[in-house]
Structures are given as structure tokens and as C-alpha cells.
């Protein structure tokens, strides 16, 4: 996995002794290559696929895209406020 530009700069600022040896320059930008211990990318893709399927199902029962967007925003806000 590639970590680019801003995040690399933050990591170097926080802990230069650990990260600065591993940063490379590609096309004038700082890049840090890391090996993932878990399948983070697969989790992101599965979440996106679930969201797309749910969106299609909601629209198929008659809700418009605007109504689904508003409902989605409320769900996101509700989950944000109820964390912890």
C-alpha cells in the first residue's frame, strides 16, 4: 500500500527517526510503502458494494435519490453522535 504526500509529511513530523529512512520520492512527491497486516482494501470494497446494493434496493422500492441521500445523511449523523 502507498501512503502519499500529506500523511507522509505528518508521519515524518511526528516521528522522523522511524519513518524518514523509508520515504522515497516519486515524481517530486513523498511516498511511503507499507505492508498491510490485515485486508483493509477488501473491507473498504465490501462496504462500498453493500452501500451500492442498499442504495439500489431503496430506490427500487420508490424512494428517490434525493430522499435516499437525506436518509443516508441522517444515518451517518446518528451513528456519529452515538459512538462511545
Position 82 confidence tier, pLDDT thresholds 50, 70, 90: low
pLDDT tens digits for range 16-58? 999 889 999 999 999 999 887 766 667 777 877 887 887 788 7
Q: How far apart are the first and last CA of the chain?
A: 30
What residue ranges do the domains of the chain occupy? 2-33, 40-81
* pLDDT value at 63 more than 80: no
SS3 23: strand
> Who wins on pLDDT, 67 or 25?
25
Q: Do residues 5 and 30 touch, judged by C-beta distance below 8 A?
A: yes
Amino acid at each position: 500500500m502507498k501512503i502519499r504526500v500529506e500523511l507522509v509529511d505528518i508521519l515524518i513530523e511526528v516521528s522522523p527517526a522511524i519513518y524518514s529512512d523509508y520515504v522515497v520520492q516519486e515524481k517530486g512527491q513523498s511516498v511511503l510503502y507499507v505492508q498491510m497486516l490485515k485486508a483493509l482494501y477488501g473491507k473498504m470494497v465490501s462496504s462500498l458494494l453493500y452501500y451500492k446494493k442498499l442504495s439500489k434496493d431503496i430506490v427500487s422500492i420508490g424512494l428517490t435519490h434525493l430522499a435516499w441521500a437525506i436518509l443516508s445523511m441522517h444515518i451517518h449523523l446518528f451513528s456519529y453522535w452515538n459512538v462511545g
